[in-house]
Amino acid sequence: MTTSTSLVYLIALPLLGATVLLLAGRRSDKWGHLLATALSASSFGVGLYQLSQMLARPTEERAVTQKLFSWINVGTFNVDAGLLLDQLSICFVLLITGVGTLIHIYSISYMSHDENRRRFFAYLNLFIAAMLLLVLGDSYLNLYVGWEGVGLASYLLIGFWNQKPAYATASKKAFVMNRVGDMGLSFAIMIAFATLGTVSFSGVEEASHTASKAALTAIGIMLLVAATGKSAQFPLQAWLGDAMAGPTPVSALIHAATMVTAGVYLIVRSNFIFDAAPTAQLLVVIVGAITLTFGALVGTAKDDIKKALAASTMSQIGYMILGAGLGPAGYAFAIMHLLTHGFFKAGMFLGAGSVMHGMNDQVDMRRYGALRKFMPITFATFGLGYLAIIGVPPFAGFYSKDAIIETAFNAGGVKGILLGSTALLGAAITAFYMTRVMVLTFTSKQRWEDNQHPHESPLLMWAPMAILAVGSVTTGFLFTRGDALVHWLSPVVGEHAEGENLLLQPIVVSGLALLAVAIGVAIAIMKYQLSEVDAIAPHDVSVFTRIARKDLLQDSFNEAVFMRPGQALTSLLVKGDQNVVDGAVRGIGRTALGAGSVLRKTQTGFARSYAALILIGAIVLIAGIWVVTQ
């Protein structure tokens, strides 16, 4: 395989930024954000250079590796800290550094009034470095380091305004729930090591041809657990809504475009495991289908613009997981949807940030309305993202989501019909709640107080939004033209296999999807554009609305099933520790103390009694030896 020496700069540049900004402290307040942005942009430059190099090589030699150092070398177990850049990771590298740089630029303006802006940029750089390590690691262990790194950066950024206790709690919640998933990843690595004897991607792929199905299924399920944690999938989805406590650029970059898609990357990267373990693969599609519906339903009831978008993110990642669970037919589409989603969702989050910027940080959509006139650019860019996400041709989401729905329908048998219908239903609900967001924010009647003065955001903020909007429009078309992305990824994820007997022809699926979207849009327009909307959320609503507003009771469920029994168990253990363990320890201590107090009386201070003791000791010693000898 081709080797390269410049891969490490991808990671080293943003890492350098984080180090300098954190170590230099307040001294770098003046220029820290510029340095961080420049380093992120240079990393993007290195990524583009790598892409051009890669394109110049024939297909089979496109992947490059770089060995950094020998990390673990114990007996037969060797792990090198090594990087692998192939057709799959280059997509991520460009997405992370490209969108990441745009969001750096946006944040210069968005965070300009925050006295801790430098620290914010340090964390952003740290995140970029960790995320790049995640997608560039050449083994599960190296991936794990990046995996934990993005978890840390996410924690730090969600709690960036930790002076508010609710935000600090949100970051803790995200961290704790992610730990559950991380444990899955570490178990997967341990099982891989125990059963396959290796943890590198190439090694595991090779071993997967001969390994037992049970082992591969176990690894696959544990990887899925990891993916559900990081990508906010059912049943570990509850943290994502609260994660919106972080500054909006963070929501755009980490909790929409990049980090939360790491689970999808993990599954697609481990395609060889899931292809050989159908049970694990089935679980993947089930998780994806449940989450895409779950997120969409939650999205219909949210009045907080960021939480509505977060629910939508959850739902869209559900689509990607579903696609990834469909095997070789779906991997490329999952990645395609991931990339298009990276553009339109990041764009919409930045748009939401722009709206909040103009509305004194108001996030309640019931307090918006008619902002189209005041923020034309935001309206336009957000609108393009909106058209992309609901899947209107020729915008990006149409191509990628349609492909997933179509593949789901053609998965075969009852399974295919169930999955396809779920995906179709999800598309309808998506159209409904996104139209609701659009209408409530931009086109319905004005519902804000007169003391608000909505205004358009400065150039540094709208320029990144505009660039992302261009991506929302064009990427879908570019990726599907001549099946470009499918062919590009096939060396990594296997040849794209399409069933012989299609249940539904592509054109039929597209028609159905468009019909679903039209229905969803129509209902939303009737409900919100054509009728009055209360500025305060009404209370006399149906039980379903109430449940949806409470995130389908996800927190109540977690509290009842995990938190309270966990607390009970913990307090039981504490009691056990206090009474049994501490009791025993204190008992030994007290006994020893008592014995010590008695024994120290032998220390009289008189030399004569010490000498007597020596004499007695000598006699006992002689007697002892005598007894043994006889």
Partner 1 sequence: MEFTAPVLNYAQLAPILIVLGGALIGVLIEAFAPRASRHSSQLFITIASLVAAFAALVRVRNQASVDAAMGSVAFDGAGVLLQGSILIIALLSVFLIADQENFTALAAAVPGSSEERESLQRDLRVTEVYPLTLFAVAGMLLFPLSSDLITLFVALEMLSLPLYLMAGLSRRRRLMSQESALKYFLLGAFSSAFFLFGVAYLYGYSASITFAGIQSSVIGGSGNDVFLLLGIAFISVGLLFKVGAVPFHAWSPDVYQGAPTAVTGFMAAATKVAAFGAILRIYYVAFANAQWQWRPALILIAIVTMVFGSVVAIAQRDVKRMLAYSSIAHAGFLLAGVIALSKSGLDASLFYLFAYGIATVGAFGVVTLVRDSAGEVTDLNRWSGLGKRSPLVASVFAFFLLAFAGIPLTSGFIGKFSIFSAAYESGSTWILISGVLSSAIAAFFYIRVIVLMFFKDPVEDGTSVVIPSALTLTTIVVTSAITLLLGVFPAPLITFIESSAFFIR
Residues at the contact surface with partner 1, assessed by CB under 8 A: 585, 588-589, 592-593, 595-597, 599-600, 602-603, 605, 607, 609-611, 613-614, 616-618, 620-622, 624-626, 628-629
CB of 21 to partner 1, least distance (A): 29
CB closer to partner 1, 376 vs 617? 617
CB closer to partner 1, 563 vs 592? 592
What strand order describes the sheet that includes 64-74?
A: 2-3, 64-74, 77-85
The alpha carbon of 93 is separated from its chain's Cα centroid by a whole number of angstroms, namely 15
Full DSSP string of 49-70: HHHHHHHHS-GGG--EEEEEEE
Q: Is 82 helix (H, G, I), strand (E, B) or coil?
A: strand
CB closer to partner 1, 69 vs 626? 626
The alpha carbon of 532 is separated from its chain's Cα centroid by a whole number of angstroms, namely 37
Give ∠ CA 322-328-334 in degrees, rounded to 5: 40
- Tell me how far CA of residue 580 lies from CA of 574, 575, 576, in angstroms: 10, 8, 5
Q: Are 324 and 267 in contact (CB under 8 A)?
A: yes
CB of 605 to partner 1, least distance (A): 7
CB of 624 to partner 1, least distance (A): 4
Rounded to whole angstroms, the Cα distance separating 418 from 503 reads: 12
CB of 613 to partner 1, least distance (A): 5
CB of 73 to partner 1, least distance (A): 15
CB closer to partner 1, 360 vs 609? 609
CB of 585 to partner 1, least distance (A): 8
CB closer to partner 1, 61 vs 577? 577
Rounded to whole angstroms, the Cα distance separating 479 from 477 reads: 6
CB closer to partner 1, 190 vs 611? 611
**H or E stretch covering 416:** helix 413-438
Looking at this protein, which amino acid is placed at residue 367?
R
CB closer to partner 1, 556 vs 591? 591
Q: Which residues contact 431 (CB under 8 A, 6 or more apart)?
A: 390, 391, 516, 517, 518, 519, 520, 521, 524
CB closer to partner 1, 412 vs 617? 617
The dihedral of CA 387, 315, 327, 2: what is its sign? positive
- Among candidates 484, 512, 478, 494, which has minimal Cα distance to 405? 512
CB of 627 to partner 1, least distance (A): 8
CB closer to partner 1, 76 vs 629? 629
CB of 70 to partner 1, least distance (A): 18
- Among candidates 159, 160, 309, which has minimal Cα distance to 232? 309
CB of 577 to partner 1, least distance (A): 16
Rounded to whole angstroms, the Cα distance separating 404 from 536 reads: 38
Rounded to whole angstroms, the Cα distance separating 199 from 190 reads: 9
